[in-house]
Amino acid sequence: MKYDVVTIGGATEDITFYTAEGTLIANRKDILRQKMLAFEYGTKIKIDNSHSTFGGGAANAAVCLSKLGFRVAALVAVGSDIRGGEILNNLKNNGVDIRLAQRKKNIESGFSFLLVGNDNEHIVFSNRAANSELRIGNYELRALKNTKWIYMTSLSGEWDEVLKKVFSVKNVKIAWNPGHIQLDSGYNAIGKYLKSTEVLIVNKDEAIELVVSRKLYKKKSFAFLNKIENLIKIIHSWGPKTVVVTNGKYGALAYDGDKLYRQPVIKEKKRVDTTGVGDAFGSSFVAGLELYNGDIGKAMRLAARNSASVISKQGAQNGLLSKI
């Protein structure tokens, strides 16, 4: 079957806890940890409420793109447990093709604990579990050669082998939202793939982490590294055709080498949960490029609209917009 998009990466159950007992601390001494959420050591923390929903970068992107009318398959790995079956059923119920999904024996399906504080921002504790067992063989490669876009998210396990396989595919556009492990490995590990990347999507903190992984920029000033325009132009010079950097309540920037596109946040009707907002923005941006014939400005507006909709609902997928 020919797909519009194949998403690659994580699929999880997300267990979200809300608490008002944390303290947000500004940490200007560390450019990579500018905000810290702290709790009293040794104490018991009161949970105000909790929810269980579905998440994972590849799953969130797949559901987003499916709802926007695209033929989508999710290349994900889950365990043979009940959670894995529920994750796959959720994808299927949202119109995502699961024929590329891998069921792994003797390992649990991935899940995340999301701790949400006073300002509705969150910290994610991720158990990759079966996600770490994702592999790409000949069957998966044939499918990847038969799609228009690959949308790749956070990888674990033998992620370097997955990257080699994905970037060996020719004549397919690759959108990449690298995860913590890839970014922590730095430019020396992933830089060689950037020239083959159609769209690179990172948030501001991730952009800083990637830039300072090159010795040339490690000693740049706090002010220089804190300016998105500097970050986005540096990263674009490494090869991606378009770079998108999101910055929370300050909106997002995109750069194609000629023009900077600024997209302010679209105010949500109700701010409930920021989980999955980055996945919604990135996958909606790619959808917008297809829907609007490469118009980056329109793609950014669609991404902002979908992000605002996601924030207004609990979980990473419940607020996603349907075809418009």
Give the DSSP per-residue string, 22-70.
-EEEE-TT-TT--EEEE--TTPPPPP-EEEEEEE-HHHHHHHHHHHTT-
Paired tokens of 310? 């996601």
Q: What proportions of the chain, in percent to the nearest 5, are helix, strand and coil? A: 35, 25, 40
> What was the pLDDT predicted at 311?
87
Q: Which residues of 113-145 are buried (b: 16+ CB within 10 A; e: fewer)?
A: ebbbbeeeebeeebebbbbbbbebeeebeebbe
> What was the pLDDT predicted at 172?
98
Residue type, 289: L
CA distance 277 to 126: 17
Q: Pseudo-torsion of CA 276, 277, 283, 285, nearest 10°? A: 180
Domains plus CATH for the chain? Answer: 57-105+137-311 (3.40.1190.20)
> What was the pLDDT predicted at 29?
79
> What was the pLDDT predicted at 92?
98
Residues in the chain: 324
> What was the pLDDT predicted at 116?
85
> What was the pLDDT predicted at 316?
84
Which residues neighbour 63 within 8 Å (Cβ) at sequence distance 6 or greater? Answer: 90, 91, 94, 96, 317, 320
> What was the pLDDT predicted at 114?
87
Q: What is the pLDDT along the chain (324 residues), one digit of tens a residue?
A: 799 999 999 999 999 988 999 888 888 878 778 888 888 999 999 999 999 999 999 999 999 999 999 999 999 999 999 999 999 999 999 999 999 999 999 999 999 998 988 777 778 898 999 999 999 999 999 999 999 999 999 999 999 999 999 999 999 999 999 999 999 999 999 999 999 999 999 999 999 999 999 999 999 999 999 999 999 999 999 999 999 999 998 999 999 999 999 999 998 767 776 778 999 999 999 999 999 999 999 999 999 999 999 988 888 888 899 976
> What was the pLDDT predicted at 118?
77
Which residues, listed in sequence order, are joined to residue 252 by a DSSP beta bridge? Answer: 246, 263
- Strands 147-152 vs 252-255: parallel, antiparallel or unpaired: unpaired
CA distance 217 to 31: 12
> What was the pLDDT predicted at 63?
98
> What was the pLDDT predicted at 324?
61
